Amino acid sequence: MQLSNNVTEFILIGLTQDPFWKKIVFVTFLLLYLGTLFGNLLIITTIKSSRALESPMYFFLFYLSLSDACLSTSTAPRMIVDALSKKATISFSECIIQVFTTHFFGCWEIFILILMAVDRYVAICKPLHYMTIMSPRVCGVLVAIAWVGSCVHSSAQIFLALSLPFCGPNVIDHYFCDLQPLLKLACSDTYVINLLLVSNSGAICTVSFVMLMFSYVFILRSLRNHSAEGRKKALSTCISHIIVVILFFGPCIFIYTRPATTFPMDKMIAVFYTLGTPLLNPVIYTLRNAEVKNAMRKLWSKKLISDDKT
């Protein structure tokens, strides 16, 4: 591994360099980030405090919201602060940490989405054995395996990043550190590293997306054997999951499955999967899920009653 770098910090261009638009970016993304945190923390609090949401589906939704909150936090706060800076810089070590955290929580979200698809398959196709197969112990082990898998993926990204030699250019045309923009700054041939990047991040995104789409097609076909009411409830849940999968995987596949080329639209597409999807997920799951909405109402009612007593 080659570690002899002359670069100790990078300059982040961000989404824009225009002073007026930087203020717009600051206000807009501060509100989006606060909305993301509020929505996901609300789901986390609701699931933890409601006995009606103790099924495996909500166990995985809890961790999906947690990964969403952490994924947005890995990029949004720095982007918001940098929007107020004349020259946004990030140290080499901070850049490497950001690469790790972004890929860790992004990969963790992918694995959680796969586990949610497995949960729906068992619930719809094997309802009599659902609680036996998806026991709390099994669910906990599956989440732990997803965590370990995310660590392995992120460690591979760090290995690739540290193997890049940086000899002078240090301006990153992005709002956060990622391997794609870092490859452009390396002062050596990056063909092999780019192949490894595509085979790692690109393969995880593409294979996972194809698996999820096939699984939901299979699940939806099996709904023909259910009652009208059962079909309606299962269809509503599956459609919510499919919307989330498409919104998250679409941008990821676009970014990570192509050669080492960058486009002006890459930054906005990255905004969508690092902040847009984590913001939309709570809205999608809340609006299409009566149990979550009822649990939130009860949680809010309890809070109002406790406030009145005090």
**Average pLDDT in the 130-153 region?**
94
Give the pLDDT band of residue 145 (cuts 50, 70, 90).
Answer: very high
pLDDT at 54 over 90: no
What size, in residues, is the chain? 310
**pLDDT interval class at 26 (50, 70, 90):** very high
153: tokens are 């993926």
Structure confidence at residue 188 as a pLDDT band (50, 70, 90)? confident
Cα–Cα distance between 228 and 289 in angstroms, integer? 17
Q: Cα(238)–Cα(246) distance, rounded to whole angstroms?
A: 12
- Whole-model pTM: value is 0.89
- Highest mean pLDDT of the ranges 104-113, 117-126, 293-302: 104-113
Lowest mean per-residue pLDDT among 89-103, 219-233, 241-255: 219-233
Dihedral sign for Cα 13, 160, 206, 32, please: negative
Tell which wins on pLDDT, 190 or 274: 274
> What pLDDT, on a 0 to 100 scale, did the predictor assign at position 2?
43
pLDDT(149) > 70: yes
User: What is the per-residue pLDDT for 309?
Assistant: 57
- Reported as a pLDDT band with limits 50, 70 and 90, residue 197 is confident
Region of 221 (left: φ > 0; alpha: ψ -120 to 50; beta: rest) is alpha
Span of 16-25, 116-125, 268-277, 287-296 with lowest mean pLDDT: 287-296
Distance CA 193, CA 176 (A): 20
How would you label 182-198 residue by residue, b for 16+ Cβ within 10 Å and e otherwise?
A: bbebbeeebeebbebbb
pLDDT at 304: 56
Task: Decide: 75 and 102 in contact? Cβ < 8 Å.
Answer: yes
CA atoms within 13 A of residue 174's CA, in its CB half-sphere? 28
**Whole-number average pLDDT of the chain:** 86
Mean pLDDT along residues 28-48: 93
Of the listed ranges 5-14, 104-113, 289-298, the least confidently predicted one is: 289-298
Q: What percent of the chain is modeled with pLDDT above 70?
A: 93
pLDDT above 50 (res 4): no
